[in-house]
Amino acid sequence: MQGKWDIYRRLLGYLKPHWREVTVAYVAMLIATVLSLLVPQLVKRAIDSGLSTGNARALMMTGGLILLVAIARGLVSLAHRFYGDWLTFRVSYDLRGDFYISLQSLPFAFHDRAKIGDLMSRVTSDIGETERFIGSGLMSLVATILLLVGVVIAMFLEDFWLTLWTLAPLIALVWVALRFGGIVRPLFRKIQDQMGILSSVMQESLTGIGVVKAFAREPHELEKFDRESDIWFDMRYQSIKVWAHYWPLFNFILAIAIFLLLWFGGPSALSGQITVGTLFAMISYSLMLNAPVSQLGFLVNMATSADASASRVFEIIDTPNEVVEPVDAIALEKPRGEVRFENVSFAYQEGRSILREVNFVAEPDQVVALIGPTGSGKSTITNLIPRFYDPSEGRILVDGIDIRQLQLKSLRSQIGIVLQEPFLFNATIAENIAYGRPEAPLSEIIAAAKAASAHDFIEATAKGYETMVGERGVTLSGGQKQRLAIARALLYNPRILILDDSTSSVDTETEHLIQAALAILMKGRTTFVIAQRLVTLKSADLILVLDHGRIVERGTHDELLARSGLYHTIYDLQLKDQEDFLALQRGKIDEEHVHKAMEMATSMAPEKIIER
C-alpha cells in the first residue's frame, strides 16, 4: 500500500516548476495577513495620537495613512489571490495534459476495458476537485495552520500556564481534523468512483441513442440512470452527514478553549494571580481563531476529496503500458515489407487463447488474404502487426526484425490500416483523409479519394472537401465512411497495407472500382486483405484460412480449391448462388467501368506518392 501522504507529495510536485509563483503567492499571503492584523492597531494608535494633540492635520494624515496601508494591502492581496488561482489553473492544465498524453499512449488493451464515461468523469470532476485544493485551497490551509501556530505561540508568550488549559482543546481540534479527513477520504473515493459509473451510464446511453430509440428503450435507460444516480446521491448524503457533524464542531471546540480560560483563568484573575488584561488578551487571541477555524472543516474536506480525486487521475497516468519500445529501439527505415509470424499465440484475456501457433510469411509486395468464420481471429492477426497488442508467445518480424525491437512510431508509420469499423473524426472530409499526413497537399488528398472512389460523392456535397462529417461521420452513409477510411490509409502511403473488411458496406459496383484501383496501388506494398467475398481472394498470392485461431489451410485460390477443405466449403456456399448467374451470359462487365477505375488508380500510382 502507498503511504497516506504520497498523493499530496506528488501533487506538490506539480507546484515545483512554478516555485516562483508559489513564492510570490505565499509571501503575499503572509504580508496580507500581517497587514490585516496590524491595521486596526495602527488605526487605533493614529487616532489616539491625532486626537490627543488635537491637530486637524494629523487627523488628515491618519486618514491618508489608512488609505496608503489599504493600497499596500490591496496590492499584496491581489498578488495572493491572483497567484493562488493562477496555480490552481496551472496545475489543472498540467494534470489534464499528462492525462491526455497517457491516454493516448495507452495500448488498445487498456481502451478495450476502459469506459469513456468514467475517463470523462476523471477529467471533468476529479481534476476539478484536485485543482480546487492544490492552488488556493492549500494556501488557505497553510494560512490557517500558520495562524493557529502563531496564536498559540503568542498565547504562550502571554501566559504559559493559562495556555496549557487551551492546549488540550487545540490538540483535540487537530486530532478531530485528521480524524475527519480519515473518515471522509474513503467516502470520497467511493463517491467519485460512483460518479464514474454514473458517467459511463450517461455516456453509453447518449452514444447509443440510436439503438435506445430504435427499441423505444428510453424508460429502461432512465431507470439505469436513476439507479446509479440514487446510489451516488446516497453516498454523497452519507458524507454530508459526516461533514455536517464535523464542520461546526471545530468552532465548538474553540469555544471550549475559551470556556476553559474563563472557568479556570477567571478565578486566577479574580485572585489577582494574573491581570484581567492578560485574560482578556488570551481570549481575544482565541477569538481571532474563530474565522479560520470555521474554514478548517471546509479545507480538510477539500484536501481529502483532492486526495481521493487525484488518486483517480494518477491511476490513469500511472497505468503501466505493456506496449513499450526498448531504450535502444531500432528505427525501421524503408522496409522491404516482409512480415513473418513465428509460432504466434495470443490471448486478449488470459485463459482464452484466440490465436494458436500461427506461422506464415508474407513476402514483400505479396497480397495475403485472410478468410474464415466470424470470430476466427482475422482481425486479431492484423492487430498484432502494428503492435496494437503483443503476442503472448512467439514473435512477429518485419524485415527480419522482431517488432518489439522497433520504434513504435517508425513501425506504425509504415503500416496503413483500414479498421473494420471506420471511425471518422468530427472534422472536414479533407482533414479526415489527411489524418495520417496532415501536411499532404490537396492534390494528393484528391488522388487518394479518387482511388477510393470517393471523389465523386465528395464533389457532390455542398462544400466538397471542406464538408464537416459530423461526430463519427454521422452525416455520411456507411459506404461513404468506409471509402474515406480507405482513402485515409492510401494517402498514408504505407509499405504494408491492411484492409480489414474495408468494403463490406460498399455496393458491388463501387467495390469493383475500388478493387481495380487497389490492384494497382497494392503494387510495391505488402497487403493483407480480409474480405468475406471470394472474388477479392482470387488474386491473392497467399490465402490463409483461419478457424478458431488456427491456420487450417493455406495456398493460392486454385491450390485451395483443389483440396476439399474449409475453403472449398465456403466457396461452395457462394457457388450455389452463382448457378443461375452462370446461366446468364458470362463475364459481361461494363467496359466503361473498368476503364474508369484504371484511370482513377493510375492518377495516384504508388511511385507518385512514395517520393514525398
String of DSSP letters for 312-381: HHHHHHT---SS---TTPBP--S----EEEEEEEEESSTT-EEEEEEEEEE-TT-EEEEE-STTSSHHHH
Question: Closest distance between other proteins and the C-beta of residue 248, in Å?
Answer: 4
Task: Tell me whether residue 32 or residue 344 sits nearer to other proteins (CB atom).
Answer: 32
User: 339 near 496, Cβ under 8 Å?
Assistant: yes
Min dist CB 158 to other proteins, Å, is: 16
Do 116 and 124 form a contact (C-beta atoms < 8 A)? no
Q: Closest approach of Cβ 116 to ligand ATP, in Å? A: 15
- 419 vs 427, beta carbon nearer Mg ion: 419
Contact characters 412-431, Mg ion, x per CB under 5 A: --------x-----------
- Count CB neighbours of 147 within 10 A: 17
Q: How far is the CB of 328 from ligand ATP (least distance, A)?
A: 30
Please identify, using beta-carbon distances, which residue of 327 and 460 lies nearer to ligand ATP: 460
Contact indicator for 482, 506 with CB cutoff of 8 Å: yes
Q: Out of ligand ATP, Mg ion, other proteins, none, which partner does residue 141 contact, by CB within 5 to 8 A per kind?
A: none
The entry of Mg ion, other proteins, ligand ATP, none near residue 8 (CB within 5 to 8 angstroms by kind) is none
- The enclosing H or E element of 605 equals none
Beta-strand relationship, 367-371 and 353-362: unpaired
**Shortest Å distance, C-beta 383 to other proteins:** 9
* Comparison of 106 and 134: residue with beta carbon closer to ligand ATP: 106
Q: How far is the CB of 78 from other proteins (least distance, A)?
A: 5
Give residues in contact with ligand ATP (CB under 6 A). Answer: 112, 348-349, 354, 372, 374-380, 420, 474-480, 505
Cα separation of 337 and 316, whole Å?
35
* Least gap, CB of 378 to ligand ATP (angstroms): 3
Beta-bridge mates of residue 358: 344
We find the least distance from the C-beta atom of residue 21 to other proteins, in angstroms, to be 4
Among 77, 102, 294, 379, binds Mg ion (CB under 5 A): 379
* Shortest separation between residue 586's beta carbon and ligand ATP, angstroms: 27
The amino acid sitting at 223 is E
User: CB under 8 Å, gap of 24 or more: what pairs does 33-36 form?
Assistant: 33/143, 33/146, 33/147, 35/69, 35/72, 35/73, 35/76, 36/73
The amino acid at residue 351 is G
By CB under 5 A, the count of residues binding Mg ion is 2
Asked if 556 interacts with Mg ion (CB under 5 A), we say no
Nearer to Mg ion, 353 or 379 (CB): 379
Q: How many CB atoms lie under 10 A from the CB of residue 421?
A: 13
Residue nearest to ligand ATP (CB): 479
- Which one of Mg ion, other proteins, ligand ATP, none is in contact with 421 (Cβ closer than 5 to 8 A by kind)? other proteins
Residue 402 interacting partner from ligand ATP, other proteins, Mg ion, none (CB closer than 5 to 8 Å by kind):
none
417: partner contacted, choices Mg ion, other proteins, ligand ATP, none (Cβ within 5-8 A by kind): other proteins
Stretch that binds Mg ion, among 62-70, 375-383, 457-465, 575-583 (CB under 5 A): 375-383
Strand duo 542-547 + 415-418: pairing: unpaired
Query: Are the C-beta atoms of residues 533 and 563 closer than 8 Å to each other?
Result: no
Query: Residue 367's beta-bridge partner residues?
Result: 527
Nearest distance in Å: CB 379, Mg ion: 3
Residue 81 touches which member of ligand ATP, other proteins, Mg ion, none, C-beta under 5-8 Å by kind: other proteins
| Dist CA 561 CA 557 (whole Å) | 6
Instruction: Please tell me the distance from the alpha carbon of residue 264 to that of residue 283, in angstroms, as a whole number.
Output: 13
Nearer to other proteins, 342 or 427 (CB): 427
Residue 483, contacted partner among ligand ATP, other proteins, Mg ion, none, CB below 5-8 A by kind: other proteins
**Which CB, 476 or 496, lies closer to ligand ATP?**
476
8 Å CB contact between 437 and 469: no
- Cβ proximity to other proteins, 247 vs 465, nearer residue: 247
CB-based contact 366:542 (threshold 8 Å): yes
